[in-house]
Amino acid sequence: MKVQVYSANWCRDCRQAKQFLESHGIEYTEINVDHDPAAADEVLRHVGKRAIPQLVIDGEWFQPYAPGRGLLFDELYKRLNIARS
């Protein structure tokens, strides 16, 4: 499985998403939108807004949080095929 995380250092939800991936042994490539302006444009092109974090899982874009709800843990488990213990 190939996972990319579009994020920024100041983003609390981004840090939480990366921590979730790391705690489940999911390797990922981080793409920091603050360091790479083209990455911010890529997010805008794919999701229609400049919203991070964004995950790209095997080429499929997924926003792992919802404003006011935070990280979508149930969706993360499902999309990453992680068994709950």
Mean pLDDT across 61-80:
93
Q: How confident is the model at residue 45 (pLDDT cuts 50, 70, 90)?
A: very high
Measure the CA–CA gap between 16 and 4, rounded to whole angstroms.
15
Alpha helices in 1-85 (DSSP H): 12-23, 37-47, 73-79
Amino acid at 55: L
CB burial of residue 30 (10 Å; 0-12, 13-18, 19+) = middle
* Topology of the domain comprising 3-79: Glutaredoxin (3.40.30)
Structure tokens at 6: 């579009």
Domain ranges of the chain: 3-79
Q: What's the confidence (pLDDT) of residue 67?
A: 86
Mean pLDDT across 62-75:
92
